[in-house]
Amino acid sequence: MTTPFIQFEGVSKAFNGNKVLRGIDLDIYQGEITTIIGKSGGGKSVLLKHIIGLLEPDDGRITIDGHCLTDVKGRARKNLRRRFSYMFQDSALFDSMTVYENIALPLQERWRLKPVEIKARVHARMRDLDLGEIDDDYPSQLSGGMKKRVALARALVTDPEAVLFDEPTTGLDPVRKNSVHNMIAEYQQRLGFTAVLISHEIPDVFYFSQRIAMLHEGRIIYAGTPNELQRISDPVVHEFIQGFENAVDDPADTIQDGAWKSHFNAEMARMQRHHVPFALVVLSIENLSEMLSSRDAADPGVAQRFADRIRLHLRITDTCALIGPNAVLLLLPFTSLSQAKMVCAKLGRALNGQEIMHVQECQGTCMAISAGFAEVERNGHPERTLAQALAQKEIFYQFSVC
C-alpha cells in the first residue's frame, strides 16, 4: 500500500478534562474519499479540525505528506494549509456577499492574484458546478441545494489537494442529499482531490467512499473498505450500522413481511444513482409441514430461527425479512446473480438443521431448503421481482436433522 497522505499516530485530545480523542491511529490516502462515521458528539469534527491545524493534539502526531504538523512553523505551515479546503456543515456562506464574492473569498485572502485571474477561476468553478448566471445573487435567494453547490465551488476554487467535508448533507431532504453525494463523488473523480467526510448517511456513503473509518468512544475501531466493513463481526459496529439501516423498521435484525418493500425501493434508488447491482433471494424450507407433523406439536418459532441463523452469515447492509411461515427473503446490495448464488452456497454449508428445528437428538428427517434468485433490473418492481425469484426456486441444500 502507498504511503498515507494524512496520518494520525496516537493522537489524543481533551477539553476540560474530558478526553474526546483517545490515541487515534488513522491513515488517509491521496486521491481517495475517506468517510468518518460514528455517534453524534463522538469527536468526528474535532478530528477533522486537527487536520487543518484549527486544533493541536495533546499527545501523538499528525503528518501530512510526510511533514509532522507540530514541526512545521511559519510560512511553511501556511503553505501546507493552502493545500486544504473545508466545506462547513451549514455551507457557511456570507449573507452580505454575492455568490461571486463568496466563491472568490479564499482566492482574495490566500493568493496574490489579479482580479482577472480571480474572475476566471471563479467562473470556471461555477461552470463546473452548473451554477449558471447567478454571480450577483445573494445566499438568501438560493435553494438549499444551490447553497451547497456554491459552498463546494468555494471549497474547490483554490484547486486544493484535499477537501474536508463536515456533514455536508445536514438539513437537506433525501433528494438533495443524494444530489450532494453525487456532486462530491463526481468532482472528486474528475479533479482527483483527496476527500475526508464526516457523515451519518448510511449506507449511502458506502457507495462512493473508498475507505470508511468508525470513531467510537474516542478511538478508531474500524478503518478499511466498505466491503470489508460489511463483513466485520464487531458487535459495536453492527449495532451502529443496523441502527441507521433499520431506523424506520422493526428494531430486530430480521424485519417482518411487507417492510422489505421499503428496503427494496431504497436499494433500487441507490442502484439507479450509483449503477451497482443488487439481488433478491428467497429461501424456503420446502418440507416444513412434513417435518412438523413428525413432532408432537407445531413450532411457530421455526421460521424465526431459520431467519436468525441466516442473518448471522449476512453482511451489515443486507436485508433479511420473513415473508411466510417457511420462507425468508434476502436483499443483497452490491451483489450480482452469480455472487448471490455463491452467498447461498456458503449459507448451505453453515446452516444447522438441529438449531433451526430446536431439537437435541436425531429426528430421522431431512430438511430441504430451496432458493430462488432474481437480479433486480433497473426500474424493477418489488412484487414482480419476488415472483420472478419464486418461479425459479430449486432445492439447493438438504441435510438430516440429527
Q: Please indicate, yes or no, whether residues 276 and 307 belong to a single structural domain of this protein.
A: yes
Cell of 394: 430449486
In sequence order, what are the beta bridge partners of 13?
A: 21
Mean pLDDT, range 278-295, rounded to an integer: 75
Q: Are 299 and 278 found together in one domain? A: yes
**DSSP secondary structure string, 15-33?**
ETTEEEEEEEEEEE-TT-E
Q: Exposure of 300 by Cβ count < 10 A (0-12 exposed, 13-18 middle, 19+ buried)?
A: exposed
State the pLDDT confidence band at 1, using cuts at 50, 70 and 90: low
For residue 401, the model assigns a pLDDT of 43
What is the phi-psi region of residue 81: left when phi exceeds 0, alpha when psi lies from -120 to 50, beta otherwise?
Answer: alpha
289 and 275 in a common domain: yes
* Residues β-bridged to residue 279: 332, 375
Q: How far apart, in whole angstroms, are the C-alpha atoms of residue 127 and residue 133? A: 9
Beta bridge partners, 166, equal 198
Listed residue (262, 394, 260, 281) closest to 332, CA to CA: 281
Q: How many domains would you assign to the chain? A: 2
User: Domain end: 244, 267, 301, which one?
Assistant: 244
pLDDT at residue 103 greater than cutoff 90: yes
The pLDDT tens digits for 136-180 are 999 999 988 788 889 989 999 998 999 999 888 877 776 677 777
Domain boundary, last residue among 194, 224, 244: 244
Region 269-273: mean pLDDT is 76
Average of per-residue pLDDT across 315-327: 81
pTM for the structure as a whole: 0.66
Among the listed residues 128, 132, 106, 133, the one whose alpha carbon sits nearest the alpha carbon of residue 118: 106
pLDDT at 299: 52
293 and 217 co-located in one domain: no
Residue 160: cis peptide before it, omega within 30 degrees of 0 = no
